Amino acid sequence: MAGESATIGCSRCRNCGFEAPGGADEWQRIDVPKLGRMTQCPNCESTDVITQR
Ligand SMILES: [Zn+2]
Residue 47 has pLDDT above 90, yes or no: yes
As residues whose CB is below 5 A from the ion ligand 1, the structure lists 13, 15-16, 18, 41, 43-44, 46
C-alpha of residue 49 to centroid of ligand 1, in Å:
8
Nearest-angstrom CA–CA distance, 37 and 31:
5
Q: What is the pTM of this model?
A: 0.75
C-alpha of residue 28 to centroid of ligand 1, in Å:
11
Nearest-angstrom CA–CA distance, 29 and 16:
17
The mean per-residue pLDDT over the stretch 42-49 comes to 96
Burial class (CB in 10 A: 0-12, 13-18, 19+), 40: middle
C-alpha of residue 45 to centroid of ligand 1, in Å:
6
pLDDT band for position 23 (cuts 50, 70, 90): confident
Residue 53 has pLDDT above 80, yes or no: no
DSSP state of 21: E
Q: Does 7 or 13 have the greater pLDDT score?
A: 13
Residue 5 has pLDDT above 90, yes or no: no
C-alpha of residue 50 to centroid of ligand 1, in Å:
11
